Amino acid sequence: DAKTTQPPSMDCAEGRAANLPCNHSTISGNEYVYWYRQIHSQGPQYIIHGLKNNETNEMASLIITEDRKSSTLILPHATLRDTAVYYCIVSNDYKLSFGAGTTVTVRA
């Protein structure tokens, strides 16, 4: 599976949009981009996934660049409950390998 690179941490103001970047320059054509998050002491939570097109659901939006070498997860209106470690994963199947992720802290 392709490797992903994420910033180790970022802060976000409550009520503002949080834009989480992910670089996956070695992604292959059949690999999906997945985003999960893990709130302290809980199991990971599925957020969204995509192949080529941008995707949106009730939690977030996923923007994938045209060359698919990077993506951005957008939390439209961050709340304190969105504080978590966010993982960007690239995989062509269900075998997810989580990296270190980005620790997102939402501040009041």
Partner 1 sequence: ETGVTQSPTHLIKTRGQQVTLRCSSQSGHNTVSWYQQALGQGPQFIFQYYREEENGRGNFPPRFSGLQFPNYSSELNVNALELDDSALYLCASSFSGRIREQYFGPGTRLTVT
Using CA atoms of 90, 43, 38, 48 in order, give the dihedral in degrees to the nearest 10.
Answer: 50
Tokens of 19: 């834009």
CA atoms of 101 and 37, how far apart (whole Å): 9
Contact call for residue 43 and partner 1 (CB under 8 A): yes
Tell me how far, at minimum, the Cβ of 82 lies from partner 1, in Å: 17
Among 73, 90, 101, 106, which residue interacts with partner 1 (rule: CB under 8 A)? 101
Which range in 18-26, 42-50, 61-69, 74-82 contacts partner 1 by CB under 8 A? 42-50
Check binding of 93 to partner 1 (CB under 8 A). yes
Note the residues at the interface with partner 1 (CB under 8 A). 32, 34, 41-46, 49, 87, 93-101
